[in-house]
Amino acid sequence: MLRGVTRLVTETTDTDVCFVHLLDESGGRLRLRGATPPFDSMVGKVELEAGEGIAGWVATHGEPVVIVDNKTADSRYRYIPALRGEDYTSMVSVPVVTPLGHLVGVLNVHTRTRREFAPSDVHMLRSVAGLVAGAIENARLHHRLAEREEALEQFAEQTMEWQEHESRRLAAEIHDGISQRIVSLFFHLSAAADAIPGEPDVAADQVARAQDLASAALDETRTAIAGLRPTVLDDLGLAASLESLGNSFPPLEVRVDAVECAIPEHIEMAVYRTAQEALQNAAKHADASCVRVRLLAGADRVVLEVTDDGKGMAGAAEQAAEAGLGVRPTGFGLSGMRKRAELLGGHLVISSVPGRGTTVTLTVPLSQPEVLDPVPQPARR
């Protein structure tokens, strides 16, 4: 699209070359994304910091720049050998801004011969840049939608695999654990019933064993249910659930700073599972002694931060996330949690420095800000 745009711009403005530099996602760098021949081979290879060169200045200040001649005399100008600025005399640089005022990048045109660009020329270039901005935004939205659909498909496949795995696991646990204990419980109670008339001591021993079996079966049942959805979320709410979760890791000193808030159940689950995954990693892989869990509820989003003082991840945080380090009680590693966050419209960021700990940050937007209620809620049951 940008190749066509640059060609069209040079034809309609009677200029010789056109460059389109786009801001990256962070907004801190400009990258050449469109150029007319012979510079089309440089697309993707030329980068500028915001504020660097004429294009960087325009991106920072949002105002056009016109240079009639002697570019090198302008302190803002930066010579880029690959773009052969010495071959061109005059130039105009305009910001590429969407109708809503969002800066997308910078559009430059150059002429070999000296040219006095009139205000109408600059106005026309700004209008063209506005149209380009709209097209770029639409293309980016389409690309993000395609990425999200692909992530959704992958996540759906992983979810189906996980559900099948969980079904087999639960069936095995019920068959090998709970059901066997209930069978044993039945035999002990039957033996106790037969022994009551003549052997009360034997009956009492059988009843005691039956009580132990019943207690163990109850514990296993609760564990199986918690694997599906932690009941503590329904009983106490998210903030108190995080407190309870922190207490379930005795080797760690877990400090929880959370405010109770009313958010959708599926977001509650994502926050809880992310905290659980991060705490398991801190306890079993990071050699951490202290972890801080923070839950921040804003008007439009919920943010969870889990920071440990462990040894950190060896290697890039991105690689560690994609590797899915850690125990996976829910069937998902950190990479799975990231995909879940993306499907909720949020994102998971893992920052780690070897020897200085790891921070896992989950940010999930709320489509309806009014669902938040910072006032502490009563227990749900």
- Confidence band of 20 (pLDDT split at 50, 70, 90): very high
pTM of the predicted structure, to 2 decimals: 0.45
Q: CA-to-CA distance for 302 and 275, rounded, in angstroms?
A: 13
List the domain boundaries for the chain.
2-143, 148-228, 232-371
- Confidence band of 69 (pLDDT split at 50, 70, 90): very high
Distances (CA, A) of 83 to 15, 34, 35, 60, 108: 15, 13, 10, 21, 12
Averaged pLDDT of the chain: 80
DSSP for 14-60?
T-SEEEEEEE-TTSSEEEEEEE-TTGGGGTTT-EEETTSHHHHHHHH
DSSP for 48-113?
EETTSHHHHHHHHH---EEE-S-GGGSTT----GGG-GGG--EEEEEEEE-TT--EEEEEEEEESS
Quick one: tokens of 120? 């109408």
Q: What residue type is assigned to position 379 of the chain?
A: A
Of residues 315 and 223, which shows the higher confidence score? 223
Class of domain 232-371: alpha beta
Which pLDDT value is given to residue 73? 92
Task: Give the pLDDT confidence of 70-106 residue by residue, as tens digits.
Answer: 999 999 999 999 999 999 999 999 999 988 888 889 9
Class of domain 2-143: alpha beta
Q: CA-to-CA distance for 109 and 116, rounded, in angstroms?
A: 13
Query: Are 2-143 and 232-371 the same fold in CATH?
Result: no
Collapsed DSSP state (helix, strand, coil) of residue 362? strand
Quick one: tokens of 368? 């309806």
Task: Give the pLDDT confidence of 288-334 residue by residue, as tens digits.
Answer: 899 999 998 887 889 999 999 988 875 434 333 443 333 333 334 66
